[in-house]
Amino acid sequence: MNSNPTCDLAFILDALNNQQVIAYPTEAVFALGCNPDSEQAVNTLLSIKQRSWEKGLILVAADYQQLIPYVNDRALDELKRAVIFSSWPGPVTWAIPASPHTPRFLTGRFNSLAVRVTGHPLVQRLCRHYGKPLVSTSANFSKQQPCRNTTEVIEQFGATLPVVMGGIGGALNPSAIRDALSGEHIRHG
């Protein structure tokens, strides 16, 4: 791993391709992320964060097309899709029924998957260059406050964790999470 937290895009993409966990700024906090298709990378992320796999994870993407392989798009009628799309890009995460091919290491104990199209330009760029979404969970140990800058990330996780340099967006709280079928709030943002 890199001992310098100033990581360029090529280094971050290489880290993701090598099943490493990275940290990156989102709309409100720094996130830990990895390749959503790698059980090894996801297990490493869960171990670092000290988080149970049963809670499930969020995927963040540059656009909805990147999320289609992971969700059951047919479960959404036009009205539900319109409500979801009206909140994106931005800090609203939707729990959408998962594709039958989406692994349990992403969904946890749920039949849905939490997904978001980010409004953060650095994350959009990262997902576009990577060609798919990233796992996105707040950069903090379980039950601690999320990191809001690179200094806090390095203090909690050490200087060897690859970090996308940049500031968080203007949101004050981590993303709201809503159920795509019922519209109910799972977590207020």
Domains of the chain (ranges plus CATH)? 9-187 (3.90.870.10)
At 104-140, the pLDDT tens digits run: 999 999 999 999 999 999 999 999 999 999 999 999 9
Mean pLDDT of the chain: 92
Torsion angles phi and psi, residue 38, rounded to 5: -110, 110
In this predicted structure, what is the pLDDT of residue 2?
A: 40
Burial class (CB in 10 A: 0-12, 13-18, 19+), 8: exposed
pLDDT average, residue stretch 53-75: 97
CB 187 within 8 A of CB 56: no
pTM of the complete model: 0.91
Q: How sure is the predictor about 1, in pLDDT bands with cuts at 50, 70 and 90?
A: very low
